[in-house]
Structure 1
Amino acid sequence: MTTAQRINLQLKRVPAWPIYVAGALVPCWYLYLGLTGGLGVDPVKAMEHALGERALQLLIVVLAVTPLRDVTGVSLVRFRRALGLVTFWLVSCHLAVWLVLDVQILSQIWADILKRPYITIGMLAFVLMIPVAITSNNLSIRKLGPKRWKRLHQLTYACAGLGAIHFVMLVKGFQIEPLVYLGIVLALLAMRLPRPVKRAVA
């Protein structure tokens, strides 16, 4: 038995539900920090940024599941649905903080979406995530069929790219961290591109 097979055998014994619990507690933790002064002088902006960054990090983990299996043989596929749904939850909380605690004024929200490209891109990524999240269940796989379901969930690739671009455009000035995230996302997406088949020389 290979090392990867031994790891996969151990992973089968690990339940997915702790991922949901941990994901549900993340916004609560940041809310607690905000109320107790742990997020600095602008807790709303800090909470908004932290939730968005945690969501992007989890989305990168989701994208890495398939390349990790292909390269090392270690499979985290059974945890991918939980990771994806927690990602959507964190993005929703990130958006809720912006809507309810930051902007607050409905007319200003719409104006920001239309006038600020990084917000437009972020909202587009969120909208694309909705059908993916709604169909992340076995019933949807049976209703849509595996091929159509898989095609629909390829929207995750666009969400990851848009989310990384949103982060790059959001920060002020030249910062390395957002570019690192963008580079990782592009690398993980590039690993999914079909490779040219080498023809045997006669």
Structure 2
Amino acid sequence: MKKSNLVLLKTLAWIACLWPFAVLAWGAVNNTLGADPTAHIELTTGYTTLMLLTIGLGITPLRRVSPRLSWLIKFRRLIGLFAFFYATVHMLAYVGLYAGFSVQSMLEDIAKRRFITMGVTAYLLLIPLALTSTNWAIRKLGGKRWNLLHKLVYAAALCGVIHYWWQVKTGVLLPLPFTVAVIVLLLARPVLTWRQRRKVRPVAV
């Protein structure tokens, strides 16, 4: 891919990733976030986090299916860091707006409310991924250990989906598209690996 095209796509990716936050900021300034602004912020940031995690999970299978899409790898770190950014805003909104920065309230919520327990777990899984997203971290850890560590994103995505299911009311199917997408993208990895091994397996004479 030409450098100019890559720069254009990255610029568009930045705009797309920042758009939900810009809309929230504009709504907060103009007091147009609805009757429950805190719930709106939580819903938007949580939804965007899951969306970006799902998109990030889709990059590797797409590259394996079509070598022409190998350039997508250049967007994986960007998408992953934006996912962590929205997860952090999501967490801070809970800590500040719901729990009122009360450690006691947060500990009680984590112990009693399972969707919060799962949400905190998902966020904690994302922290080491964000901290080791630099080239320096890759060199220090080594490619094999870095890749192993970053498989935590699978668990984080699953925890995020479960967090969503446990948060919505019974009968609400909003988390279903994410559930299907994440499961398909996770299952695609071993399937594509198996297919690749079959192609390179020597044929017996």
TM-score w.r.t. structure 1 length? 0.86
Question: Is contact 1:23-1:90 (8 Å) kept?
Answer: no
> Shift in Å at residue 101 of structure 1?
1.1
Whole-Å Cα distance in 1 between the matches of residues 43 and 12 of structure 2?
24
Compared with structure 1, are the counterparts of its residues 131 and 17 closer, same or farther at alpha carbon in structure 2 (3 Å cutoff)?
A: farther
Q: Give the stretch that moved more between structures: 64-73 or 117-126.
A: 64-73
Whole-Å Cα distance in 2 between the matches of residues 42 and 34 of structure 1?
11
Whole-Å Cα distance in 2 between the matches of residues 170 and 9 of structure 1?
44
Which structure has greater helix proportion?
2
Residues 95-134 of structure 1: pairs in structure 2 closer than 5 A: 95-104=91-100, 105-134=102-131
Residue 38 of structure 2: which of 37, 44, 48 is its match?
Answer: 44
Whole-Å Cα distance in 1 between the matches of residues 129 and 181 of structure 2?
22
> Shift in Å at residue 173 of structure 1?
1.6
TM-score w.r.t. structure 2 length? 0.85
Whole-Å Cα distance in 1 between the matches of residues 10 and 148 of structure 2?
24
C-alpha distance after superposition, 1:100-133 (max 9, x if no partner): 0122133111100111111111111111111100
Question: Is contact 2:118-2:159 (8 Å) kept?
Answer: yes
Question: Is contact 2:115-2:166 (8 Å) kept?
Answer: yes
Whole-Å Cα distance in 2 between the matches of residues 21 and 101 of structure 1?
27
Asked whether 1:88 is paired with 2:107, we answer: no
Structure 1 counterpart of 2:149 = 152
Whole-Å Cα distance in 2 between the matches of residues 55 and 166 of structure 1?
12
Structure 2 counterpart of 1:78 = 74
Q: Which runs of 5+ in 1 are unaligned?
A: 1-7
> Shift in Å at residue 145 of structure 1?
0.6
Residues 1-202 of structure 1: pairs in structure 2 closer than 5 A: 8-9=1-2, 11-14=5-8, 16=10, 19-20=13-14, 23=17, 26-73=20-67, 74-75=69-70, 76-104=72-100, 105-193=102-190, 194-195=193-194
Whole-Å Cα distance in 1 between the matches of residues 183 and 98 of structure 2?
31
Question: Is contact 2:20-2:44 (8 Å) kept?
Answer: no
Question: Is contact 1:27-1:93 (8 Å) kept?
Answer: no
Letter in 2 for 1:90: Y
Letter in 2 for 1:123: V
> Shift in Å at residue 27 of structure 1?
3.0
Whole-Å Cα distance in 2 between the matches of residues 32 and 21 of structure 1?
15
RMSD (CA atoms): 2.3
